[in-house]
Amino acid sequence: MTSATGQTAGHARQSEARVALVGSPNSGKTTLFNALTGLRAKTGNYPGVTVSRYEGAAEVAGRRVVIEDLPGSYSLDPISPDERVLTDVLDPLNAGVQSPDALLVTLDATTMPRSLGLLAQVMQTDFPVCVVLTFTDELTRRQGALDVAALSRAVGVPVLAVTGGRRSDLVALRELLSRPQEWARPVVPPPHAPMEVAAWITSVLSSARYELPEGDARTRRVDAVLLHPVWGTLVFFVTMFAFFQVIFTAAAPLQDAIGSLFAWLGGLANSRISNGLLSSFVSEALLGGVGGVLVFLPQIVLLFLMINLLEGVGYMARAAFLMDRVMSKAGLEGRAFVALLSSVACAVPGIMATRTLPSARDRIATMMGAPLMTCSARLPVYVLLIGLVVPSGAGWGPISAQGATMFGLYLVGALSAMVAAWVFSRLGRSSGPLLPFSMEIPPYRIPSARSVALSTLDAARTFLRKVGKIILVTTIVLWLLLNLPARSTADLQAAGVNPANHTAVSAYVIDHSFGAAVGHAVEPVFQPLGFDWRINIGVLASLSAREVFVATLGQVAAAETPDTPTIALRTMRVEEGPRAGELLFTPPVVAALLLFFLYALQCMSTIAVMRRESGTWRWPAIAFGYMFVLAWVMGLAARLVVGAVT
Amino acid sequence: MAGDLAVVPVHPESLPDDPRTLRWVIPAGTLGFVGMPVEVPAPLRQLLDDATLAGLTVEPAAVRLTLAAGLEWREQGVRVRDALQAALAVPEQWQAPDLADATDAMAAMAAPGDDVLRAAVHQVLDGEVGDYIRSHGGQVILLSAHESEVEVQLSGACRHCPASDVTLTERLEGGVRALYPGLLRLTARDEPGPGAGRRMLRLIPTRGR
């Protein structure tokens, strides 16, 4: 025993111990992690939420303990890259990763027979182990039973029940965490061979008086409908439809309020700041541009609130299950859909979630499709563009036409993502059989208000951080491009512009800026789609992040019509060429823009994560290329079709 | 389970005061006797012969194995477990201790299994259930354990406690049945006193099995 202790303690620093969390997917690992560290890793009632490694520090008895949240796994025999992370960390011979000093194993009390299999494997590793039983409240609610003390005696390691990260349950755990080297160790580790492990599990559970919980009656009744091939699918689409209705109806008033606030501030900046350049920077770049993106905060918050609710309740796992039937018919991995579904929030976690895919080919195929799922960055662009052509009052009864349009865009995005993933998996397929996909369907749980609120706040914070960093920087660069070269009074007079008329001056400066030159330069590419130089510069700028498109248009609008920037886009007219004088944002052009944004890969973060996950620039380049061509063709098609019907 | 290839479910539990001895929990009723067996199947016999094991006692639902001095469970555990599981797969090759020379009068007229039942009741009374009863100021004495029926006597605070019915049947009987699945009934009578009659405890069927 001494040798084992020496091995694991040898490389530990005296000051801080390192404890890793191990557990099956959806066993409450991340909830425990958050409760111990006060950090907010994202949790969901949805297997596979933790795909990368998280670390946080917990203060226990005056000592700092580093807690590491590892990806969930049902066993230590890895079949996918994320499970490999777990085995690497637990392998003391693997010098590439830092080994923990002890392991906390979370076991879902409602699924003990299966969970103990993982525990048996973990206990082979020679690390000090402590078991944290989760969902014991659910076990008793569903008429199950378990004697915690007897279980601890039977497995030979400390066992504690912690329900939903409740603070009162954590006191004892913190106490234990302060001295992992003193934890009871099993004198004889559990066996290896499957038959013997099964016998060990039976023996341990019978000793612990374990009574399997009855199937959750509520869950069963609800699932009879929700997992039904016809009703379930119908409910799924109705849910999603209602989802987008709410985004428009509930968030619109808030959005208007924030919009008016920024318009008012812009007016204030114009009248109070005497320095012309500074005033233009504040009112156009900051308030018109960055403020134009901030206006969409209510929608972003609402989107994440609803995603978190659906996930916490356990609905997302069912949606994945339903869609898996469809996808497996097409020969696609069920795990692929889980990754695609994660991309509704953002393609970056979606692409990282492809680590759960065992086959490298399917991973790449899913990565190629994931950016087509409508991510939250497209939301401001869609809301803005839809608002330009679909009146907010229009609709059928309680159904708003704006919400219906948005639903359609999400639907097309999702379908395109699946088709793209399918095509790419076909291209590389040698005809390997599909690996069986098993996904846990968790019982319905009422998500804790705290965890939903925290992850929603987190999403809002991420959005604000993005606005404060990449969007702000791009907007400032654009502002410079749009306001340089600076024009002297003589220049203006030579061009026949009255230097006293601010609006005319800024319109002139912008129209003859470096930015305009760039916008004009790419005109041949985008002319078939009906984009003018102002849209072009917005589209180019949005390559950094999609929201920048909104910021750019806001900036241009604020410069050209400072009095009414909110309705400026609607009245903006084409300045030159065959369509000169016509409204710029006609339904065909907006349709082309929407489809362009639906398909184009305009996100540096996605490209970077694709490069990292695929290990080569080849795949991001292919993705960018094919999506650009697709976006252009679809945009053109949309313009022609909408032009023909309107 | 006869003819079944399944491995007999066992797991070891350590004893706080005796690091050389492990209680290997086995399914109740596997062996049908308690005490030190006269003979054990070959795999275990070998470990006793080569002085790996220094002691072996059978309990109602466990086998206590004591390692010879100087040996570590960490090194010997897997070998011992394999031997024990092999031996438990052939329960008919275990030879129960000879009861003929027992001095106890009751043992002489005992039915097969009585000793297991008695040991089971004692184990329960010595364990958590007994602790619970004692913590409430009660006392339980085993009067008889014969032909799968148990009779106990309640005294102390149990005597007039209206909860003793439920407490005792559920706790005591559940505990004994876990160690001796063939238990037919458990009756309790109050401490003899004026007018104290015999009282039959309701048998609440335990859930499951």
pLDDT in tens, A355-402: 777 777 778 888 888 899 888 888 888 888 888 888 777 777 777 888
Confidence of residue A3 (pLDDT cuts 50, 70, 90): very low
- Tell me which residue of A131, A109, A124 sits closest to A22, measured CA to CA: A131
A348 neighbors A336 (Cβ within 8 angstroms): no
Residue B177 resides in a domain: yes
* Sheet (strand B198-199) strand order: B138-146, B149-156, B185-190, B198-199
Mean pLDDT within A582-601: 88
Angstrom CA distances, A17 to A10, A98, A99, A176, B4, stand at 11, 12, 11, 12, 47
Alpha helices in A93-230 (DSSP H): 112-123, 136-141, 148-155, 167-177, 194-207, 217-226
User: Of the residues B69, B97, B125, which one is the last residue of a structural domain?
Assistant: B97
CA distance A168 to A308: 26
Angstrom CA distances, B140 to A431, B154, B160, B175, stand at 71, 5, 13, 14
CA distance A323 to B170: 49
Q: Which residues of B are less than 8 Å from A156 in CB distance?
A: 12-14
> Which of B11, B27, B207 is the closest to A200 by Cβ?
B11
User: How distant is the Cα of A69 from the closest Cα of chain B, in angstroms?
Assistant: 30
Mean pLDDT within A473-495: 79
One domain, residues B19 and B72? yes
User: Of the residues B97, B132, B152, which one is the last residue of a structural domain?
Assistant: B97
CA distance B22 to A156: 11
Q: Name the closest residue on chain A to residue B23, using Cα atoms.
A: A154
Confidence of residue A626 (pLDDT cuts 50, 70, 90): very high
pTM beyond 0.90: no
Contact check, Cβ <8 Å, B9/A202: yes
CATH code for the domain of B140: 3.30.300.130
User: How distant is the Cα of A221 from the closest Cα of chain B, in angstroms?
Assistant: 24
Strands B62-67 and B138-146 turn out to be: unpaired
Number of CB atoms found within 10 A of residue A158's CB: 19
Q: How confident is the model at residue B104, as a pLDDT?
A: 54
pLDDT at A42 over 60: no
Half-sphere exposure of A400 (CA within 13 A, CB side): 21
Number of domain units in chain B: 2
DSSP for residue B95: B
- Tell me which residue of A440, A356, A333 sits closest to A114, measured CA to CA: A440
pLDDT at B159 over 70: no
Lowest mean pLDDT: which of A82-86, A130-134, B147-151?
Answer: A82-86
CA distance A188 to B22: 9
Mean pLDDT within A482-496: 75
Paired residues of A18 in beta bridges? A66
Can you tell me whether residue B6 is helix, strand or coil?
coil
Contact check, Cβ <8 Å, B77/A188: yes
**Percent of chain A predicted with pLDDT > 70:** 87
DSSP for residue A145: B
One domain, residues B114 and B88? no
Dihedral of CA atoms B26, B31, B36, B41 in degrees, nearest 10, equals -90
Residue B56 resides in a domain: yes
Q: How confident is the model at residue A6, as a pLDDT?
A: 36
Q: How confident is the model at residue B131, as a pLDDT?
A: 81
A257: which 2 tokens? Answer: 């309020």
pLDDT at A630 over 90: yes
Q: How confident is the model at residue B166, as a pLDDT?
A: 66
User: How distant is the Cα of B39 from the closest Cα of chain A, in angstroms?
Assistant: 25
> Which of A199, A206, A207 is the closest to B7 by Cβ?
A199
Residue B115 resides in a domain: yes
Whether the CB of B6 is below 8 Å from some CB of chain A: the reply is: yes
Please, what is the average pLDDT of chain B?
77
For chains A and B, CB pairs below 8 A equal 60
Contact check, Cβ <8 Å, B13/A203: no
Residue A561: partners with Cβ closer than 8 Å, 6 or more residues away: A503, A568, A571
Confidence of residue B200 (pLDDT cuts 50, 70, 90): very low
Contact check, Cβ <8 Å, B13/A154: yes
Whether the CB of B107 is below 8 Å from some CB of chain A: the reply is: no
CA distance A348 to A339: 10
Confidence of residue A594 (pLDDT cuts 50, 70, 90): very high
Contact check, Cβ <8 Å, A189/B72: no
Q: Which residues of B are less than 8 Å from A140 in CB distance?
A: none
User: Of the residues B97, B124, B155, which one is the last residue of a structural domain?
Assistant: B97
Residue B42 resides in a domain: yes
- Tell me which residue of A70, A21, A8, A81 sits closest to A366, measured CA to CA: A81
Lowest mean pLDDT: which of A162-166, A535-539, B47-51, B114-118?
Answer: A162-166
Contact check, Cβ <8 Å, A199/B6: yes
> Which of B9, B13, B74 is the closest to A153 by Cβ?
B13
Residue B32 resides in a domain: yes
> Which of B9, B77, B178 is the closest to A200 by Cβ?
B9
Residue B20 resides in a domain: yes
Confidence of residue B130 (pLDDT cuts 50, 70, 90): confident
DSSP for residue B203: -
Angle between helical axes of A148-155 and A112-123 (0-180°, round to 10): 40
Q: Name the closest residue on chain B to residue A156, using Cα atoms.
A: B13
CA distance B132 to B139: 10
Give the best residue of A203, A204, A210, A211 to mutate against chain B (max B CB count within 10 A): A203
Angstrom CA distances, A357 to A48, A83, A354, A366, A424, stand at 11, 10, 5, 9, 15
One domain, residues B8 and B93? yes
Residue B184 resides in a domain: yes
One domain, residues B119 and B197? yes
Please tell me which of A2-6, A486-490, A558-562, B131-135 the model is most confident about, judged by mean pLDDT.
B131-135
Contact check, Cβ <8 Å, B27/A203: yes
User: How distant is the Cα of A190 from the closest Cα of chain B, in angstroms?
Assistant: 8
One domain, residues B93 and B114? no
Q: Name the closest residue on chain A to residue B85, using Cα atoms.
A: A196
Alpha helices in A486-602 (DSSP H): 489-494, 502-511, 514-521, 523-526, 533-541, 547-560, 565-571, 587-599
Q: What is the CA radius of gyration of chain A?
A: 28
- Tell me which residue of B165, B206, B170 sits closest to B189, measured CA to CA: B165
Contact check, Cβ <8 Å, B81/A191: yes
Confidence of residue A288 (pLDDT cuts 50, 70, 90): confident
Residue carrying the six token digits 């238990």 = B183
One domain, residues B89 and B133? no
One domain, residues B6 and B89? yes
Whether the CB of B36 is below 8 Å from some CB of chain A: the reply is: no
A179 neighbors A102 (Cβ within 8 angstroms): no
Residue B104 resides in a domain: no
Q: How confident is the model at residue B209, as a pLDDT?
A: 38
Number of CB atoms found within 10 A of residue A227's CB: 16
User: How distant is the Cα of B76 from the closest Cα of chain A, in angstroms?
Assistant: 8
One domain, residues B154 and B82? no
Q: Which residues of B are less than 8 Å from A211 in CB distance?
A: 207-208
DSSP result, A586-640: -HHHHHHHHHHHHH----HHHHHHHHHHHSSSHHHHHHHHHHHHHHHHHHHHHHH
One domain, residues B148 and B80? no
Contact check, Cβ <8 Å, A207/B25: yes
* Cα–chain center distance at A331: 25
CATH code for the domain of B76: 3.30.1370.70
Q: Which residues of A are less than 8 Å from B12 in CB distance?
A: 156, 187-188
One domain, residues B53 and B122? no
Strands A54-60 and A63-69 turn out to be: antiparallel
The pLDDT tens digits of the residues spanning A395-430 come to 777 778 888 888 889 889 988 988 888 888 777 654
pLDDT at A291 over 90: no
Q: Which position has the higher pLDDT, B140 or B208?
A: B140
A289: which 2 tokens? Answer: 């541009």
Interface of B with A in 161-200 (CB under 8 A): 178
Q: Which residues of B are less than 8 Å from A203 in CB distance?
A: 9-11, 25-27
Name the phi and psi angles at A570, rounded to 5. -65, -30
Give the best residue of B1, B11, B74 to mutate against chain A (max A CB count within 10 A): B11
Mean pLDDT within A15-20: 79
Can you tell me whether residue B1 is helix, strand or coil?
coil
pLDDT at A113 over 60: yes
Contact check, Cβ <8 Å, B74/A1: yes
pLDDT at A574 over 80: no
Q: How confident is the model at residue B65, as a pLDDT?
A: 92
Confidence of residue A436 (pLDDT cuts 50, 70, 90): low
Please, what is the average pLDDT of chain A?
79
Contact check, Cβ <8 Å, B7/A198: yes
* Domain residue limits at B14: 2-97
ipTM exceeding 0.85, yes/no: no
Q: Which residues of A are less than 8 Å from B72 in CB distance?
A: 1
One domain, residues B114 and B90? no
pLDDT at A94 over 50: yes
Give the best residue of A116, A148, A187 to mutate against chain B (max B CB count within 10 A): A187
One domain, residues B130 and B152? yes
Number of CB atoms found within 10 A of residue A41's CB: 20
CA distance A327 to A363: 15
Whether the CB of B21 is below 8 Å from some CB of chain A: the reply is: no
Confidence of residue B165 (pLDDT cuts 50, 70, 90): low
Contact check, Cβ <8 Å, B11/A1: no
Q: How confident is the model at residue B103, as a pLDDT?
A: 52
